[in-house]
Amino acid sequence: MKKFLIGGLLLLTACQTVTDTPTPVAPLIPTETPLPTPVSATNTPAPTSTPEPSPTTFPRFFTTEFDSTLAGWVILQAGNEAVPNVTVENSRLLLQMASHFTWVYALYGAQDYDQVHVETRFVNNAMSPASMGLVCRYSETDGWYEYNVTTDGTYNVLYGKWLASGIANYLPISEGSSNAIQQSGMEQEIGVVCSDTTLTLLIGDTVVRSVDVSRFGLTEGKVGVTAASYENSPVIASFDWVTVGEP
């Protein structure tokens, strides 16, 4: 079961190239190209200015298969100070946790959504209890909704909110079990529709539950994926693709 008090927030921007050796994390927005040094007033012609790069345009609705970079995404970590290994390798997003009780989030930081349908396919490579899931309506100040499935065949919906820097509280909203939840090492598809005051939970194409979240009052925010380790480690969550679309 997910622990309801965590700490140790780490915020960084992920931008990895698919190579055998992961590339270092790079800034989300490209840095400006320096302008040339002015030439003294002589007969030498003045140099022309180097055009500054325009900001990257990030799509609102899309499917990413993680075959190039994580530009536009943001990584959050909580639980302890052990930094997870986040890479893009072989067209998969890998969230790797070598420590116990670690929570990792990969959020699409370029857009906010009120009504949205998020889906993903992943493999939980942990041989011990661990969870993977989806996030919608994430707000640093107001909180977020989180839909997780666990290798023991259970699922839950949580409302998370940061209480202070590096400390978050999780309030259980709903939980259940499903025979459609795959065992460790097998591909799993899940989805969540965040529409008005309802979260609709999917495993594959099957709706498993609709959850009323009106009392929490979240109206919009960011979306993303999440993975967590518990008493045992390591945990490797391998995400094949993520789709963000209209409900």
| pLDDT of amino acid 174 | 97
Q: Is residue 237 part of a domain?
A: yes
Q: How far apart are CA 176 and CA 97, in angstroms?
A: 26
Residues 6+ apart with CB under 8 A from 180: 203, 204, 206, 208
Instruction: Count structural domains, the chain.
Output: 1
| pLDDT of amino acid 3 | 40
| pLDDT of amino acid 139 | 97
**C-beta atoms surrounding 91 within 10 Å:** 13
Q: State the average pLDDT over residues 166-171.
A: 82
Q: Is residue 36 part of a domain?
A: no
Q: Higher confidence at residue 42 or residue 231?
A: 231
Q: Is residue 236 part of a domain?
A: yes
CATH of the domain at 180: 2.60.120.560
User: Residue 163's pLDDT band (boundaries 50, 70, 90)?
Assistant: confident
Q: How far apart are CA 167 and CA 21, in angstroms?
A: 33
Q: How far apart are CA 189 and CA 203, in angstroms?
A: 6
Per the prediction, the chain carries an average pLDDT of 81
Question: pLDDT tens-digit profile of 100-145?
Answer: 888 899 999 999 999 999 999 999 987 778 999 999 999 999 999 9
Residues 6+ apart with CB under 8 A from 73: 13, 14, 15, 106, 107, 108, 109, 224
Q: Is residue 34 part of a domain?
A: no
Structural domain including 169 reads 5-27+56-245
| pLDDT of amino acid 164 | 73
